[in-house]
Amino acid sequence: MPFFPRYPNEGEEEKNRIFLYRVVGDVIVSEFFRDESRSVVIKTKIELLFVCSQILSDIMKLLLALFPLVSVASVAANYCHPADLLIGGSSDEQPLVKKWIDGYKTECPETNLILEEVPCSSSCGARRVCSEGQTYEGETPLDVGTLSRPWREMEAVSNNGFLYQCVDSQRQLVSIDAALYALSFVVGTGGAAHECIIITGGLTLDQLRWIYSNLSRAELIENGWDPDSLENDDMNDNTHLWSELDARCANEEILISGGPYMSADHQFVAVELFGDLFDSSVEDIPIDVPRNTGPDTFLEYYTSRPSSLEASASTTSSWNDSHDLLHHVKNNGAAITFVKYQLAAEYDNTISLVPIENNYGNMVYPSYSSILSQDYFPFARKMHINMVKNENTLRAMKGFFEFAYSARGSEMVEEVGYFPLAAWEQKVMLAVLDDDAETWGDITCSDGPSVMEIDGSLTAFPVAKVWSDVFRAKCNVDIKVRGGSSRRGAERVCGTSAQNKVDIGMMSRDFTSSEAVSRNGYEYECVGSSNKVVQIEAAVEAVVVVTKVGGVAEKCIGRLGGLTIPQLRWIYSSFTENQLRYEDWSFESTPNSDGDQSTHLWSELLDHPDCPATEIKISGPADDTTFIDLFADEVLPSYEDGEDYASNRPDGFFQSESEPELVQYLVENEDAISFFSYSLYARNDDKVSAAKILNDNDEYIEPLQTSIQDGSYAPLSWRIYMNVRKDPGSLAMAVPYLEMGLSDMGTELMQFSGHLPIPESERMVMKARIRAATGVEKEHLECGPAGEIVSMAGSTTLYNLVRLLGGMYEIGCGVKVQVEGGGSRFGADRVCGGAGPPVDIGLMSREWYDDEGVQNGINVQCNDWDTDRNLLQIPVASTGIVLVTASGGDAKKCVDILGGLTKDQLRWIYSSYNEKELEETGWDPSSLPNPDFDPQTHLWSELHSDCASTEILLTGPSDLTEDVYYDFMEEVFDDYDNGEEIATDRPNQYVSGESNSIAVSFLLENGAALGFFGTGFYKRNADALSPVPIQNSAGSFVLPHDSTIQTGSYDLLAKSLYMNVNNDVETLPSTIPLIRYALSDSGTKLVEAAGYVAIVQEKRDQFLASLCQIEGAPPSATFCGAPKQRSSNASNGAIVGVVTLLVAVVAVVSVYVVRKVRYGKEADSNDDANLSPYARSRTNWAEQEATVEEPVKDFKPKQNLHQDGNADDEGKVKESDTSEATPVWV
């Protein structure tokens, strides 16, 4: 019963509140003045706390009422730095800067930012912010100067685009990108101008210059203009006809129009078209100086031609003025104008955007992606805010930009018609302002060249752009990144292009045989030049086919089991069914075809009620996006020969470059289908459903992070490559740049580029590749035949480790190691020759099933396939799942009381089943000694009455990212095969730790949380998290550690990982050296670095010695004690040696090693005061190793809850453990 009763009406409640205040007053007086005669006494501290909490709540409400502008989302007080700063410059930036200043003043009124009322220009802003005194024109120096164009060399110079040195003064400036600004040239749809643009494919800069210049033909030629840009020149300076561009165009005068005279739009166009001639007032857009007096002389707008340059009358550009210009071209078919891109893009289809030729000769439409990638050049650029480099100014402007980059600040950017910066760019800009070490991380800068060029695939561009922005800001270097195509990336890095060579060529595919050739799969020799290239895998990209969740399309695809590439082609192709059949398209794709080639119905794919006779609505990204071409390359094989996306369907082909629009189209049309990036799908998986796609191995694969990374989601996934030119100049900067990109920081930045990172083990291999290219120290390695291919497939649990081992072996031995995922069943099938092309090694994270093979020690005889293959099963590592809590929280305290958790307790905590369903499927209710009989709650106190009565919060890996998620369910949920899964209907949802930082932060912020992760995750975060002892099959609670996993005492959530090698004398010379490397000391280091548990030395020695007895195995001086003569089939190789190996593993193991040294010494000294809070509250990893066989508490459960923890990928439990059996050799 509460100390103060609750009254049912407001009046009584107010009386009660007043009474509370009186009571507190009495308590305070009694406490401080020791007046025991007071009539009101509060009997307990709890009652006093209750009273105080009520009053504090009212005080907070009062403060919020008095100061409504106070916001929890306001700028951090640390950044509200007192300052008086004068800002001026570009007229184009003034509206945006004014909005930002007005908004910022409400947050930090002590920062006095003064924006000059009358703007000058970018040149004026540059001149005045570089001035240390009054300029020659008597202008006042600025603290902050705004520019809507890049700096010119005569004004200031910079290496990295952020730190500038003024040319005419000693001032140093910090330049911060504010927003993106782009102009579009526009014509009326269907008019003479539009028809001509269709004929020419767009306009070149020379054609635009001729259209808009006030110079005569002769003057233009004298100043560098190319007369060949006019195919049908009438040689008459008094006319500018569309037909002069091409004889097929209309013989009509070009009506020119544009933004106000000397506005930012006008200057932008004039500077890009006329250059220095505009600055020197020689060349300009013709304004109010008619060459003749014709009937089309324009009223209040710019005039000079018979059809005049039309412009808005105001002195500054505005949206209303720009609308006038768009109305003008809409109503005048021969007119052309230029306006801000955003306005043109949002206008109706009565106007059309004009493609402009960029520096690479490509006609490019303006779009958000082409503007961000700088492919739409030169009419897209950033606006800059430049401040004097001194502590006071930078501190004040840091707070200003905190506001400018906030959600409200970004809205303001859009309100004035610009693009806000991408999130990663904003982060970089803020770091530039104060050289934030935490943001930079451990970036090593190059001592070599200060300029690097990167060019190639537009798909890869966002990755390179994100990495480059961070690297150049930290290292004060200039990195030029351009987006185009994979072909251009190959040509420019190989030096076979007419353009100069680049240091890195970006590609979203491998080299073709006509571009470059390789023996080991990563070092290439260019065809057509003597250049050599090292290929580095940087990221993974995928296209996902999507439909509305719960819609007609999703149900039909689900009934089909997924979609095939031929079905997708039929759905999207502009070809008729007859044309498709002519091209060897599989007519079996539409088994229920209606014979009507004008329809594409869901029912044609399958005769079933789930596939109704409704038209399939098709949609996808806009034409100028990378995904439209990537999808077509795989789905529409004749895309280059006339096949296209079908636009003549009843509902057309809905396209948009707006991600929300694509998602919304599906939400509103349940019979529609679309495709877009995996990252967009993952952000909207509550609204859209991803279709499984049939891969080359005849498996329907769901697009998950693991299936995309391991390549099984094919052919709609791609690797992104950075191909580095192998010469000292390029490597000097490329190596530290790529090492940063392959670091944890680079991986985190992937979230901004929209790509998936390659697995951590592969990142280590890539680092070793680039280090090997620099010629670091090498050591001897016993290799198989050079140039051979070793193929592997199977368990995704093993995939990362094998990619690491195989990658390092490739570097040293000049062989190609091919690795596929797919699961243990797939690995057994492939190595036995039962599914797809046979492989040399099958990867498995379990023992063999009887229907797969007969196992006798390490020997396995394949079953049920037309093969006599026998195999050698070699364990190469172990792995486990670790349950973790935060130190000191309710979860940790309860686990300490219990001594650990049992399998039944874990099942109750995580299961989607209620207690009744659990008990019906074998769960022991005695594992819950204090139940509250409420299936909606899962409290720690239900496990023990001394535990806190708080809800157990759940976290763990993402179901889209890690096998650990599924392994956990297979091991813990007895009814997993029938739909038991991790609960999603709790009061607090399961938190998916898609990255280490998310999971660790959630656990540390929530003391009642419990998480599960792989051993690698725990090792990397052992200083912050506490492991949970788990009851083993012998009834003891055991902490997870290398030794408990190796010895089998931690048996519920641990398992061995195997390579099953084809025992064939033809392939053993290639495979046995790789197995020996995996079991060697060097391989063991990689096993541990990748987060797995190594096989104990004694067992590794046994297996290595036994391999020497295998017929056909190559001799080995190292492992077999044989003479040093090598087999004629074997070749000497070199692998990255001690230096490279340390570089490869240091990112993963250094923290672990340092932690062991530091905490081990502290534990030895028994000085708990010196331990960190995390170390003091947990059992040391090294200390656990010494006591692993002992129960943590003297607590025995009533029964043995888990007899055997050896389960496989498919969730089946093997009948017996043969891992300790005596080897039987053949």
DSSP 8-state assignment for residue 1225: -
Query: Any idea which residue has 């009937």 for tokens?
Result: 295
Give dist(CA 83, CA 108) in Å, integer.
Answer: 10
Residue with tokens 């095939």: 564
| Start-to-end Cα distance in the chain | 79
Cβ pair 948, 904 in contact under 8 A: no
Separation of alpha carbons 1001 and 470, rounded Å: 24
pLDDT for res 607: 94
Interior CA angle at 226 toward 222 and 227, to 5°?
90
Give me the average pLDDT of each 10-residue run along the chain (1226 residues).
Answer: 29 37 35 34 38 44 38 47 91 91 90 86 91 76 92 89 92 93 93 96 95 94 95 93 97 89 80 86 72 32 43 36 83 93 83 88 80 78 92 91 92 88 82 65 74 90 89 86 88 87 93 90 91 94 95 96 95 91 86 91 96 96 80 90 90 85 93 92 90 89 86 90 93 91 87 83 86 64 86 87 88 86 88 87 91 89 78 94 94 96 97 95 96 94 97 83 77 94 88 68 92 85 91 95 92 93 94 94 87 90 90 87 40 36 37 33 34 30 35 31 34 33 24
According to the model, what pLDDT value does residue 343 have? 83
Cα separation, 1137 vs 1150, in Å, equals 18
DSSP 799: H
Six-digit token string for 101: 């200043």
d(CA 405, CA 915): 49
| Residue in this structure with the two tokens 């005061």, named with its chain if needed | 1169
| Whole-number pLDDT of residue 885 | 96
Please, are residues 350 and 330 in contact by the beta-carbon 8 Å criterion? yes
CA–CA distance from 619 to each of 542, 702, 855 (Å)?
A: 17, 20, 52
CA pair distance 355, 186, nearest whole angstrom = 9
Q: How far apart are the C-alpha atoms of 96 and 1047, rounded to whole Å?
A: 66
Q: Residue 1062 has what DSSP assignment?
A: E
Q: Tell me, what DSSP letter sits at residue 587?
A: G
- C-alpha 31/C-alpha 762 separation (Å) is 67
659 burial type by CB count under 10 A (0-12 exposed, 13-18 middle, 19+ buried): middle
- Say what the pLDDT of residue 1129 is: 34
Query: Distance (Å, rounded) from C-alpha 796 to C-alpha 701?
Result: 13
* Residue 398 CB partners (closer than 8 Å, separation 6+): 79, 81, 430, 433, 434
Closest alpha carbon to 262 in 281, 289, 240, 249: 281
> How far apart are alpha carbons 925 and 908 in whole angstroms?
9
Q: Do 631 and 543 meet the contact criterion of CB atoms below 8 Å apart? A: yes
Cα(366)–Cα(351) distance, integer angstroms: 14
| Residues 484, 448: Cα–Cα separation, whole Å | 27
